[in-house]
Amino acid sequence: MSIPLKAAYCATTVALVIAPGVAEAADDSPSAKIPDGTTATSSVQVAETVSRLQFSRATSRLQMTATSSRLYLTQATGSLHRRIQAVAGMRTRASRAHLNAQLLVRLQSAVRLQRARIEAQWRHRADRAITFALKQRGRPYVWGGTGKRGYDCSGLTQTAWRSAGIRIPRVAATQYRRIKTRVAKRELRAGDLIFFNSLGHVGMYLGKGKFIHSPRPGRTVSVERLSGYYKRNYVGAARPAWRPLPQIPLSLG
């Protein structure tokens, strides 16, 4: 073997001998060692702490979101409830107003019917009194007379209304004072008593500006117009047996 070849062989042998030691030295270096049990446990604890902190934060956010949702839901529910109550209140008031209007209409109808009955009843009596008085036309005037031989003015009106079932005083002035219902001239109805000459004379109104009476001695029961002398000496009028008409209500109050 030549010298150069031997030198190369020796160098290779030396390198192989030295290499295991170098490898062992590399294996024994601190940076290549595996962490022991204490270092591994610390790493796990740190990871768990981070995880718990992240979970806690996530939970807090969820709780805040849930609280906000409940608050919003409560407010929305309360607003909806108030709206429902307002609508219900409006419907209740409208229903109550409608019911009150119906009751008022019924009440007004009942009062009108009552008024019509009162007027019809009086009209029936007045017609009977007028019919009786008209049948006495031609009968003589008799002072203090009430029908047997003739009539004076107040005797005729008293007897006529008595035939209709109504009693009134005997004398003209007393008839005016005792009959409570006074009647304006423009509101005269057939059957009303009309008075003249300072309440010294009385007749019965027939309508259309005419009345029947027993005028004076020498005259008979007759029909006259409410004009001239009688218009000038007119005092007033009264309505026998009249019941005041109830007022038609304008509200339920």
Q: What is the per-residue pLDDT across 48-83, written as a single tens digit (0 to 9) for each?
A: 676 677 667 766 676 666 666 666 666 766 666 676
Sheet holding 210-213, edge to edge: 182-183, 234-238, 193-196, 201-207, 210-213, 222-225
Q: What is the mean pLDDT of residues 104-120?
A: 95
Distance separating alpha carbons of residues 53 and 42, to the nearest angstrom: 17
Task: Encode burial over 178-192: b for 16+ CB neighbours within 10 A, e otherwise.
Answer: ebeeebeeeebebbb
Each residue's pLDDT tens digit, 168-214? 999 999 999 999 999 999 999 999 999 999 999 999 999 999 999 99
- Which SS3 state, helix, strand or coil, does residue 140 take? strand
The reply to whether the predicted model has a pTM over 0.75 is no
For 121-238, CATH gives: 3.90.1720.10
Q: What is the mean pLDDT of residues 96-116?
A: 92
